[in-house]
Amino acid sequence: MKKILVFVCYFGKAPWYLDYFLQSCVDNEDVDFIFFTDIEEIKIKGDNMKIVPISFEKFRDKINSHFSFELNIQHPMKLCDIRTSFGEVFQDLIDDYDFWGYCDVDVVFGRIRYFLDDAVLENNDVIFTKPDYPTGFFAIYKNDVNISSLYRSTPDYIKVFQDEKLLCFDECGGNYSQVCNGVNILDTKYVIDSMHHILERNRDSINVLYEFYSIEGTPGKIKYDNGVLIYKNEFEVLLYHMTSFKNNFYLKENILKKGQLHNYLIGEFSFYKNKWFSIFYYKTYEKLFPLFKRIALKTDYLTSRIFKNNNKKLLKEGEYKYMELSLFIYVKNNNLFLEFKGETPYKIIPLSVFKDVFYIKELKQYFIIHNPNCISLILPEGNLINYTLQK
């Protein structure tokens, strides 16, 4: 059987969902993982999971030492741009493997080798788990010097590695909406190349698999059963990516005990035990809690209008961006306004009880303020579209 090594790196406070991720890795006994982290207490361990305790600064220095130029890695998130080079940087760790890869920690794996069997690996050089673009949350590369050095195929990689900002180099450079709508990545407007550009230019010489192996969003109806991930009791999937789930406005963080991590359910807003009483409780929660919270927000909005709450301190003026979309926050005549690029400005109504939330009457939309540099549009199902303040 061909051997796979997956690189994982995470620095900072352990996220509440980490144990779910780790258990799903350990249950994939025929795939090896190496986890670089400064998290001191790792509860879930296995023979296929090597934990490497290391600080972010030392890990950054290790990567820096591989290159002849200075990289600009000021924060852990920037490693997403750099990890396309891990097959080179950590060549000594993958000598005994046929494939190497990387993944995020906000995923729950199913049976990786059920989907990526030797026949699939034999016929592909690079593998992703979405049909639209390279997936940074899980990617597999053949352990071949030409494949591991693909990122060097564009001189833009130096610009990317020396830019402090996250540029989504491991995926499609932020052109998600266009490529998901069928536009060829080479026909999009872009400032720098990404791995998607590189792979598309080399499609005649490199076998790339873009396959619908993963699910995202907050669909619920997901069951994890001793390493097998099932959707709607019908479809087996390779992984569930929690990018929307973990930030959902209605999320209920539920951390199961170590012995309960082999069999559980993933609903729209929480993980829970596969027991009748847990199913009843969380199904009821998923139906009623969003309704109650929307009523509370509406009540707060109506009272805030009467008492004219006008807390401007939580918001910074400037341009906020989500992918290629922009909105602007500014103060005029002592009132806060939000304006989408080229559209009519809307008056912001800050709420009184939910002090980190504001409302746009004309749009019938709520926004939540995560910090002075990030605000999110709250979609009806509770998922968030994050807009970041531009420097």
d(CA 265, CA 273) in angstroms, rounded, equals 6
Residues 5/139, Cβ–Cβ less than 8 Å: no
Does residue 164 carry a pLDDT above 60?
yes
Instruction: Name the residue with higher pLDDT: 184 or 309.
Output: 184
- Confidence band, pLDDT 50/70/90 cuts, at residue 311: low
Q: How far is CA 4 from the centre of its chain?
A: 22
What single DSSP character describes residue 46?
B
**CA distances in angstroms from 325 to 2, 43, 322, 372, listed in the order given:** 43, 40, 5, 19
Residues 350/336, Cβ–Cβ less than 8 Å: yes
% of the chain beyond a pLDDT of 90: 82
- pLDDT at res. 359: 93
Q: What is the pLDDT of residues 79-95, one digit of tens each?
A: 999 999 999 999 999 99
d(CA 288, CA 367) in angstroms, rounded, equals 21
User: Token digits for 154?
Assistant: 């564009």
- Confidence band, pLDDT 50/70/90 cuts, at residue 127: very high
Closest residue by Cα to residue 91 from 147, 152, 53, 148: 148
Report the predicted TM-score, pTM, of the whole model to 2 decimal places: 0.93
Instruction: Name the least confident of 4-8, 135-139, 238-242, 332-336.
Output: 332-336
CA angle 252, 218, 260 (to 5 degrees): 55
Q: From edge to edge, which strands make up the β-sheet containing 126-128?
A: 49-53, 32-37, 4-10, 99-103, 138-142, 126-128, 208-210
Residues 374/387, Cβ–Cβ less than 8 Å: yes
Does residue 339 carry a pLDDT above 90?
yes
Closest residue by Cα to residue 225 from 237, 214, 207, 215: 237
